Chains A and B, each alone.
Chain A
């Protein structure tokens, strides 16, 4: 048996679903051929059994010839043994063919998925790819699995046809025409059955989704109640599945009865005609029994034929999905003749033309972003997840190979995920770092307490999607992982959004130290992080509005509104808080109801952000660009305009 997984699954052909299926077949043509040989031996042995029984009855019993009886009984037994032996070999090869096709598909889809990376979720629903693993690979496997049985069916059908015609032409023709007619007659009945089964399966699938939904939401339910409602709704849906099941039962029981009736009537017909022929001596009594046996046997190869057609159709449908995924190409093109990366950073490590943001090399820069595009979009541009005019050490990012960009610049955003596996491998995928370094990074991410809570420390297995740790813990582990990756430029998007203020303060204090001498960009609204930055850049509506230290920038009401979240401003400005204006009445009620805090001043018209014009922004960019070391003096848009 072929050892799996394959060391190299090969380069798939994905011109069309059929081409993909053919590629799979070509790749395992050897085992498919062997499976066919065993399939033929297996089916032939079965096909010849009625003949042996007939001969035993005629030659042995009819002539009371013990010797002949013994001989034919031995032949019969021999056929049985061949059937069993060839059967198991055919089965083994069928499983091998099934698994090879299924696993090979998982392998090529996985390889293609990791090649696509960030492009994948943008171009295809993740459910689509998961379906490949959940059902499609089985369909592809089935399409190849049936090859052995199919070959056996064709050969045995032909063999029986020859025997029948040689014995009696009219009876032979009756069987050869009758059996396909039977199989075809049952075919149309399968459609409504499949339709109803499909309907029930879908309802049952919904029901399972619903039950899973209940389990996922159990904690929420426990908090506020609603169990009875859910039990009732579940029961309603469950009864719908039952009703669909009743509809399936109606067709299925009729089909079952038909599958007894049609072959039964046919066998009666064969027997009746056979008996009449036997009466006139055209055929022997043993041959009559054999005909009875053939008529019963032939149903099997013919249903295998229909099954094969069905499997192939489903296999093509499955292949279509696989091909659709394999057809996707990475979104951003690779440069044909990439530029080399300067080894030494200049003064400016990263410069974004559209916003005017320039990141000084070796500094910890906090980007506070207000308005559109969002911080995440800006980070995507800086890390080349979307196209943009960004210079890395003076070289445009689109002139660098993507792999090189990923190696140099790491964007760790809020969508960053943990994967299942031991924590150590999670934090240090390279496996090259020592415990000391890992613990240091965990410490910087204020995650030492997570480790203390895990039974096996760094060797503890983390569950799928990091399920076994809380949201805040996941975020800190993701941060530690990003720190350990130690890229030239580390871009963190809201790295502390899910942790408490105490922890956030600790992370803010340790982050700079851990990244000393390396370029670090943090996109955040957290004052605790901004407070620790070498430089804070305030980007409003897509352009750099101010730069300076956190304390200096706090003088800017627009900046203040963003980082202090209206801490002491009840109404932090029209642009910053549309909700407040839209629902002023509710707000007033709220103030009355809460009755605490919020007594602060209300800046008139909160105009800080109002006066920013395009020219002002450009001037500022010029100013900052002229001095990339970004002096501590705050530059405010308002000042420039005023």
Chain B
């Protein structure tokens, strides 16, 4: 069912890489120049050694030998000093670009519409935030500078070789066709092969993790054989993937290595022939041979980083692809939103022009009055249909007016569409047909941060963020004072245990920190909600993981804090329904019963039957 998030096209990746390069022109130029100078310095030694061999052959003095040796030493020192700074500049540039890349990526992720995330599942996104960011880091840190250096060195070495003598330089070219063909063959297959290898390796890991984390279930359900089979199967697939890439290397490595030795042999042979015919000096032949040998290293490095570059490119495409889907409208990025916020003081002038775009004569986001006075505007669903999969409506014609300040409980069997309706009422998804409006404005047209000041959603999903308890609570209002955070925690009965933690509200929680129970996590989520203080709250099983009696108490104290707010509570515990102003029974995508608890019990329908059963009455 999961759909992958989009991936950027090669053209988009190239364009992005170009803008990236243009962002730091000075640092990039400095790095390139320094690397070139270092490479040139590195070319001095073979040439001078060639001269030395020639001089020795011709007969020379000790002084000349000493002078040449000193000159070589000077080049070596120069090369190492230049390399030091060249590397420093390029490493730092890499780190900077990398930081920009990942920060931009996370901003993109944070702006993703939730519906996109849900359709793709978090798995794909997690792979991108971890594996792709890591792969790109390797590429930017090592592959890009190494290939650049290797390229510069190769070109300059070839230049030096040509300077020694164009004739002795020519033989090295005979390796180019073999190298070209074999590398091309390899690179066409390598990326897919290594990606498959990594995926298979992750499967081995996932399988082991599953076995270990579910060890008790494995014992209880007597799944030992199945788990062993699963791991052995994963290993088999991982081995097949490894064999494939090994086969690629088994072809490419020997071809490349033979291509490296052929030019050395050819240079020696051709140079020797030229020398015997007096067309080249011994020094030239020696220098040429040494240069050709010296070429092996940068060429080899250049080639071996190419597949890493490919992998990095693929990762970059996946990171950039995240934003290819539409982002949520946000007032910060959205000039319209900013303007509408300014307009909210009362004038609806500019809104007139835009309201034409809105369907059904609903007013636009701009002229929706942002009521600071605490009076919640009415939330109205009209003829709402929704489907996750085309042709399979989960909601089929919901009409519901939630009165301002009302407590509405939604009950109904699993899969009836309660949660979906909750999400639509919170503006997470737009309806497929019909409308969900607040104060007459379609909810999804509001910029994200505004929408959330109107309607907030807390689900049973209990996630504790890495950070302190206070961090976790103050998410919606980072400027909240400690007193406000404490008040919010008190409102959800959580202050007691939070204060009892090793460092109180400053205790680190979440992955790697102090572990909180699911119930405590839900309390944090609700405290967050208290701080966010929206007009309307949708609570989707928000207290389901808390001990039922404590949950009831919590709901009441929460109710006190949120007095006057509209609350839509999706619940599977009937006491929530019992406490509510009205109960909506959702079944099969429709609201089948709607009214106060007492009326529904009196009516003797579904709800009444459930209520009786709860009380042991048949």
A394-413, CB under 8 A of B: which get 1 and which 0? 00000000010011001111
CA gap between A219 and B224 in the complex, in Å: 35
Extra inter-chain contacts (6) besides given A215-B125, A225-B476, A586-B490, CB under 8 Å? A61-B275, A113-B227, A212-B126, A271-B49, A411-B220, A531-B616
- State whether B613 touches A531 (Cβ < 8 A): yes
Flag whether A309 is at the interface (Cβ < 8 A).
Answer: no
**Docked complex Cα distance between A504 and B141 (Å):** 55
B208 contacts A130, C-beta separation under 8 Å: yes
Label chain B's interface by main secondary structure: helix
Judging by beta carbons under 8 Å apart, are A275 and B69 in contact? yes
Q: Which residue of A lies closest to B273 (CB)?
A: A66
Contact B575 A5 (CB under 8 A): no
B269 lies within 8 A of chain A by Cβ:
yes
Query: How many residues does chain A have at the interface if contact means C-beta atoms less than 8 Å apart?
Result: 189
B579 touches A598 (CB 8 A): yes
Q: How far is the CA of A504 from the CA of B573 in the complex (A)?
A: 10
Residues on the B chain within 8 Å of A420, using CB = 206-207, 210, 230
Whether the Cβ atoms of B109 and A215 lie closer than 8 Å is yes
Collect the chain A residues with CB atoms within 8 Å of residue B446's CB.
none
Nearest B-chain residue to A259, judged by Cβ: B80
* Closest A residue by C-beta to B60: A279
CA of A132 to CA of B209, assembled, Å: 10
- B505 interface contact, C-beta 8 A: no
A515 close to chain B: CB less than 8 A = no
Tell me the bound Cα distance from A70 to B264 in angstroms. 13
Closest CB of chain B to A149's CB: distance in Å?
14
Q: Write out the residue numbers on chain A whose beta carbons fall within 8 Å of the beta carbon of B208.
A: 106, 109-110, 113, 129-130, 132-133
Residue of A nearest to B462 (CB): A220
A499 contacts which chain B residues (CB < 8 A)? Answer: 414, 572
Within 8 A of B (CB), among A29-70: 53, 56-57, 60-62, 64, 66, 69-70
**Chain A proximity mask over B276-314: 1 for CB below 8 Å, otherwise 0:** 100000100110011001000000000000000000000
Q: Could you tell me if A221 and B239 are in contact, using CB atoms closer than 8 angstroms?
A: no
Q: CA A5 – CA B207 in complex, angstroms? A: 15
B80 close to A261 (CB less than 8 A): yes
B99 and A241 contact, CB distance less than 8 A? yes
With CB as the reference atom, state the residue of chain B lying closest to A594: B559
Q: A212-B129, A264-B80, A471-B460 are in contact. Are A502 and B412 (CB under 8 A)?
A: yes
B346 interface residue, CB < 8 Å from A? no
Report the interface size class on chain B: 35 or more
Given contacts A84-B258, A113-B212, contact A249 B111 (CB under 8 A): no
Question: Could you say which of A114, A248, A275, A471 contacts B211, with CB atoms under 8 Å apart?
Answer: A114
Whether the Cβ atoms of B84 and A110 lie closer than 8 Å is no
Given A99-B239, A121-B212, A253-B87: A242 and B96 interface contact (C-beta under 8 Å): yes
Please indicate the chain A residues that have their CB under 8 angstroms from the CB of B418 in the complex. Answer: 500
Name the interface residues of A203-246: CB closer than 8 Å to any CB of B.
204, 207-231, 233-235, 238-239, 241-242, 245-246
Q: How far is the CA of A126 from the CA of B69 in the complex (A)?
A: 61
Contact between A118 and B476, CB atoms less than 8 A apart: no
- Contact assessment for B76 and A261 in the assembled complex, using a CB-CB cutoff below 8 Å: yes
Is the CB–CB distance between A406 and B220 below 8 Å?
yes
Contacting residue for A256 out of B84, B231, B581, CB 8 A: B84
Instruction: Name A419-469 residues within 8 Å CB distance of B.
Output: 419-421, 425, 429, 446, 449-450, 453-455, 463-465, 467-468
Q: How far is the CB of A349 from chain B (nearest CB, A)?
A: 18
* B578 interface hit (Cβ, 8 Å): yes
- Contacting pair A275 B581 (CB below 8 A): no
In the complex, number of A-B residue pairs with CB atoms less than 8 Å apart: 564
Interface string of B309-328 (1 = CB under 8 A from A): 00000000000000000000
* CB-based contact B265/A253 at 8 Å: no
Give Cα A411 to B207, complex, Å: 23
Decide if B457 is an interface residue (CB 8 Å cutoff).
yes
- Known A242-B99, A261-B77, A278-B56; contact A425-B226, beta-carbon cutoff 8 A: yes
Contacting A at CB under 8 A, from B87-110, are 87-88, 91-92, 94-96, 98-99, 102-103, 106-107, 109-110
In this assembly, does A20 line the interface, its C-beta being within 8 Å of a C-beta of chain B?
no
Contact present for A593 and B561 (CB under 8 Å): yes
User: A103, B235: Cβ atoms under 8 Å?
Assistant: yes
A70 touches B227 (CB 8 A): no
Most buried by A among B87, B121, B235, B525: B235
Residue-wise, chain B 52-84 has the 8 Å CB interface mask toward A (1 for contact) of 110111001010011011001100110111011
**Do residues A5 and B268 form an inter-chain contact, with CB atoms below 8 A?**
no
Q: Among A66, A95, A246, which residue has its beta carbon within 8 angstroms of that of B246?
A: A95
A624 interfacial contact with B, CB 8 Å = no
Residues on B with C-beta less than 8 A from A576 are 549
Given contacts A213-B511, A272-B65, A410-B221, contact A234 B106 (CB under 8 A): yes
Residues B103 and A114 in contact, CB atoms below 8 Å apart: no
Whole-angstrom CA separation of A635 from B497 in the bound complex: 37
Contact (Cβ within 8 A) A498 B490? no
Asked if B604 CB lies within 8 Å of chain A CBs, one says: no
Q: Are B73 and A211 in touch, CB under 8 angstroms?
A: no
Instruction: Tell me which residues from 226 to 264 in chain B have a Cβ below 8 Å from any Cβ of chain A.
Output: 226-228, 230-232, 235-236, 238-239, 242-243, 246, 249-250, 253-254, 257-258, 260-262, 264
Give which listed residue, A69, A114, A267, A454, contacts B228 with CB less than 8 A: A114
User: Residues of A contacting B96 with CB < 8 Å?
Assistant: 242
Chain A residues whose C-beta falls within 8 Å of the C-beta of B544 in the assembled complex: 497-498
Q: Are B580 and A253 within 8 A (Cβ)?
A: no
Task: Tell me whether A117 and B219 are in contact (CB under 8 A).
Answer: yes
B216 contact set on A, CB distance < 8 A: 117-118, 121, 385, 413, 415-416
By a CB distance below 8 angstroms, the chain B residues around A465 are: 210, 213-214
Contact flag A275-B65 (CB < 8 Å), given A121-B215, A212-B129: yes
Stretch of B17-25, B335-343, B363-371, B550-558 with 4 or more beta carbons under 8 angstroms from chain A: B550-558
Q: Is the CB of B56 within 8 A of A226?
A: no
User: Do residues B91 and A208 form an inter-chain contact, with CB atoms below 8 A?
Assistant: no
Report whether A76 and B616 are in contact in the complex, using a CB–CB cutoff of 8 Å: no
A503 adjacent to B130 (CB under 8 Å): no
Q: Which residues of B contact A567 (CB under 8 A)?
A: 574-575, 578, 614-615
Given A275-B69, A590-B559, does the pair A501, B614 have CB atoms closer than 8 Å?
yes
Are the CB atoms of A596 and B121 closer together than 8 Å?
no
Pick the contact of A590: B87, B449, B557 (CB < 8 A): B557
A527 near B615: Cβ-Cβ < 8 Å: yes
Asked if B461 is at the interface of the complex by the 8 Å CB criterion, the answer is yes
Q: How far is the CB of B39 from chain A (nearest CB, A)?
A: 11
Cβ-neighbour of B56 out of A88, A285, A385, A473 (below 8 A): A285
Question: How far is it, in angstroms, between the C-alpha of A551 and the C-alpha of B76 when the chains are bound?
Answer: 94
The interface residues of chain B lying within 8 Å CB-to-CB of A252 are 87, 91
Looking across the interface, which residue of chain B has its beta carbon closest to that of A597?
A: B579
Contacts A83-B257, A204-B137 known; A110 to B126 CB distance under 8 Å? Answer: no
Given contacts A224-B528, A246-B95, A253-B87, contact A56 B45 (CB under 8 A): no
> Shortest distance in angstroms between B354's beta carbon and chain A's nearest beta carbon?
25
Residue numbers in B under 8 Å from A527 (CB-CB)? 613-616
Q: Mark A250-261, 1 if CB is under 8 A from B, else 0.
A: 101110111011
**A500-B553 contact in complex given A84-B258, A225-B475, C-beta closer than 8 Å:** no
B594 sits at the interface (CB 8 A): no
8 A Cβ contacts from B484-511 to A? 490-491, 493, 496, 510-511
A558 at the interface (CB under 8 A from B): no
7 residue pairs A–B, Cβ–Cβ below 8 Å: A117-B218, A133-B205, A225-B532, A465-B214, A472-B414, A502-B412, A579-B493
Interface pair B559/A114, CB less than 8 Å apart:
no
Q: Cβ of B428 and Cβ of A505 under 8 Å apart?
A: no
Q: Digit string of A92-105 for contact with B (CB within 8 Å is 1, else 0)?
A: 10010001000100
Asked whether, in the complex, the Cβ of A61 is within 8 Å of the Cβ of B285, the reply is yes
Interface pair B222/A406, CB less than 8 Å apart:
yes
> Chain B residues near A594 (CB, 8 Å)?
407, 555-556, 559-560, 579
B254, B457, B613: which contacts A223 (Cβ < 8 A)?
Answer: B457
Quote the shortest CB–CB distance from A566 to chain B (angstroms).
5
With CB as the reference atom, state the residue of chain B lying closest to A217: B463
B199 near A: Cβ within 8 Å?
no
